Structure 1
């Protein structure tokens, strides 16, 4: 009987209101990313400079800086960064109050550029500790300049194989034209 009474009291007794959980305010930070150029050709080596500034008056801001570099680009020198399988580069650091933190990362642009007009984007975001979303992001866009397929010195020669395979149709065309010229000359003689 007492169990029934407790259930009845719960049904008519309102529960105390619980204040919604409020996320603390995001720290005031800014981020910049640039490779210092507006155009990128296949195989170009670029160095991205990433700068994070804190506008907080007191205490360092603990953050993770995440950079997503152009699709197909290969990270050459990440420094003390962690590089994931998809090419995302990240650093965990602290930014002093009113100060800044800066790093660079070297990348080799893709050996093949996308067909048609395209842009290659590098994006940097700052995720404060304790948050699951960025406080701020910035991007650097480069126009993809068409060019020949180039060998990447760090790819073990795979780019050179692609370059040779891409040149085979042109070589076959030149060979066929030479054969035709030789045959006409011989028949005409």
Structure 2
């Protein structure tokens, strides 16, 4: 019997798959791979362009509950955000890193009391070195938070920053978001991550 699983993917434009000409993003690709493994994964993509952790904190509870509240026990939540928090507006980050950490703790804590929770870190920003440095620092901060909360965290910043496939894919895109080949590289990291495989194996 095929295993039924429902997962809310909550995050920003990278979760939404912005820029992918195949309209799959990384979420669509890992969903298809789960089906290949015999898991009937219903993926609820709750990625919104330009969303910060503060935006997610305002909307996540209602959006996730609407999809998972009466869905049985085969459910999970995957969170991924951070690049927009680090964007500077008026020479200040849209969300200061300490506030991002507070928001992340609240989001993760709320979800983890109800379902299995995974977090995928923010990807690199290739068109702005200062912005990218802030993203890298935030990724490390979120990784430490997840470790303290005993929740799985996948750091994708460093491997993607060193990936020619990702860099070329962003170059073909808008300078921030990759095309389909870049999302395939990100999906490969998620697919090779043991916590994800344990969650999505029949």
User: Could you say which TM-score interval applies, normalised by the shorter chain?
Assistant: under 0.3
- Higher helix fraction (1 or 2): 2
- Higher strand fraction (1 or 2): 1
Whichever of the two has the greater Rg, that structure is 1
